[in-house]
Structure 1
Amino acid sequence: MIRDSEKQRPHERLEVWRDAMALVEWVYRVTAQFPDSERLGLTMQLRRAAVSVPSNIAEGAARRSTAEYLRFLSIARGSLAEISTQIEIARRLGYLGSEALVDDQLDRTFARINALIRSLDSSPRSVRETVAPYESPIPNPESHAR
């Protein structure tokens, strides 16, 4: 008999992916209340960046090499930085209050992505794919540390 956890795809077992999915839900709920004039602006940008995070985590987890996985995690982390900036813009424009829940969700997701990057990046050289010595797939694994 197959257990539920065995039915899940690899990325669905990752807490960071689940956190990112919760962030997407929050972004969609909140941006639905933005002014109509922002439909093609901040609303679309926030939603696109939010969807990018779990999508890149999932795509990276499905790749065959650690170097590729790290690249997609880096892209996901960049999208988190976009979301953080866009939320600050929305706050400054008066579309959002200072909602600590989203800040906590962003911080938790950043921390988990950074931890996953560190764990993958510290695996033995013989096991992971090597990248050119001048090119780091994750230039700053500690970004967004508070």
Structure 2
Amino acid sequence: MKNCKIRSYKDLIVWQEGMNLAEACYQLTITFSREELYGMTSQICRAAASIPANVAEGYGREYRTEYIKFLRIAQGSLKELETYLLLSARDKVRLTDTEAVNPILMQCESLGRLLRALIRSLDNKESKE
């Protein structure tokens, strides 16, 4: 999407990657036991969906400072998601295994870098105005 005009939050790579991450989390939680439907499954899916949702909501805000605020909320949801994923693979919880969680954690790292870069870019634009 380089050199492409951003017309919508849907054009943002950070939103697209957030959607991919959420989708991967939904796929992972399908393998969890039914007893976890209202527990860890719900928590993981909620945190994962919150990331692109906050990117979209921030994009729709009128002021750059509000946009940055929602991107930071997305970062918080990302860290929350990472925590749930790590917990779900711990030996005494064992809803899944580390082999299933590691690729998703790598997506989390990548998305975290994109979020930080976008925030820095918006911060820099604000300070120049």
Q: Specify if TM > 0.5.
A: yes
- Uncovered stretches (5+) of structure 2, i.e. residues with no partner: none
What residue number does 1:71 align with? 69
| Runs (4+) off by over 4 Å | none
What do the CA deviations read for 1:34-81 (whole angstroms, capped 9, x no partner)?
111111111101111111000000011111110000010011000000
TM-score (norm. length: structure 2): 0.87
Contact 2:9 2:56 in 1 (8 A): yes
> Of the two, which has the highest radius of gyration?
1
**Aligned pairs, number:** 122
Given candidates 110, 113, 122, the residue that maps to 2:112 is 110
TM-score (norm. length: structure 1): 0.78
Structure 2 residue matching 1:73: 3-state secondary structure: helix
Contact 2:54 2:70 in 1 (8 A): yes
The reply to whether residue 90 of structure 1 matches residue 88 of structure 2 is yes
- Aligned identity (percent) is 37
Contact 2:64 2:126 in 1 (8 A): no
> Which residues of 2 match residues 41-56 of structure 1 at below 5 A?
41-56=39-54
What do the CA deviations read for 1:86-139 (whole angstroms, capped 9, x no partner)?
000100121222233212210110000000001111114363xxxxxxxxxxxx
* Structure (1/2) with the larger helix percentage: 2
Looking at structure 2, the residues matched to 97 and 125 of structure 1 have their Cα atoms a distance apart, in angstroms, of: 45
Structure 1 residue matching 2:118: 3-state secondary structure: helix
| C-alpha RMSD over aligned residues | 1.6
Given candidates 112, 119, 128, the residue that maps to 2:121 is 119
